[in-house]
Amino acid sequence: MAESYVDRVANELADLALADQAASGDVGIVEEIGKLLGASSQTLQETYLTAVRVRRAEARARELLERRQANGFKNAPPPKAAPLQGLSEEDKKAAEAEIERKAAETTPVDNAKAAAEEAAREAAEIEAEIAAVAARKAEEEAAKKVAEEEARKVAAARKAEAEKAAKADAEKKAAEAAKPVVGPWDLEDDTASAPTPSAPAPVPAKSEPADKSPAMPRRVTR
């Protein structure tokens, strides 16, 4: 069956998120990607979370198998008897004896200890994820408080500026209202008190120059 687009994207995102977690140590990145996907597509979110759980389960199973192989299967539970068909009675007895011998080498205490270690490791992973989510929420709350404080400071500064401008405007209006009003009566008083300009001095009339031409002799008639 061909892989659907949703499955392919979910698997790719699951691989990237788990790789990011392994490289950065941020155990909350997987949950953060899931929330981001859920805000737009619940189908993709569910497929992504399923892919993450599958990969984590696979990793735990592989780790357990590697530990069993590394310590020579000392903490392995007693093996179950396998069908011994096709063997002779002597071979069957030898196989059963070998199974009993290996079972005797592994005590119930060892099995319980291995199970307890596995449970403790899983619990530690869960606690680390919870702590990372709590730390992220605390950071978000702190950032929110800082933003709110900054908003209050800006609002207070704007309010102070508005009050200062209103006070200056009121003082200006009060100063203008306190100035004396100049009416027509003030203009008349100013005119009466002003000095009367003196009349200009009369300009003397110019005298006609005397006729200095020689007098003509009189004619005597006889």
DSSP of 104-138, one letter per residue?
A: HHS-HHHHHHHHHHHHHHHHHHHHHHHHHHHHHHH
Residue 96 counted as domain residue: no
Residue 132 counted as domain residue: no
Residue 200 counted as domain residue: no
- Percentage of residues in the chain having pLDDT higher than 70: 68
**Total count of domains within the chain:** 1
Q: Cβ(128)–Cβ(25) under 8 Å?
A: no
Residue 39 has pLDDT above 60, yes or no: yes
Q: What pLDDT does 103 receive? A: 64
Please give the average per-residue pLDDT across 209-222, as a whole number.
58
Residue 134 counted as domain residue: no
Higher pLDDT, 16 or 134: 16
Q: What pLDDT does 35 receive? A: 93
Please give the average per-residue pLDDT across 30-54, as a whole number.
93
SS3 content of the chain, % helix, strand, coil (to 5): 70, 0, 30
Q: What pLDDT does 127 receive? A: 77
Please give the average per-residue pLDDT across 190-218, as a whole number.
58
Higher pLDDT, 110 or 30: 30
Residue-number span of the structural domain to which 38 is assigned: 1-70
pTM, full prediction? 0.37
Q: Cβ(74)–Cβ(106) under 8 Å?
A: yes
Report the distance separating Cα 11 and Cα 48, nearest Å: 7
Residue 201 has pLDDT above 70, yes or no: no
- 80-132 pLDDT, tens digit per residue, is 555 555 566 777 777 777 777 766 666 666 666 777 777 787 777 777 777 77
Please give the average per-residue pLDDT across 171-191, as a whole number.
68
Residue 1 has pLDDT above 50, yes or no: no
Residue 35 counted as domain residue: yes
What average pLDDT does the structure give for the chain? Answer: 77
Q: Please state which of the ranges 11-20, 36-45, 137-146 shows the lowest mean pLDDT.
A: 137-146
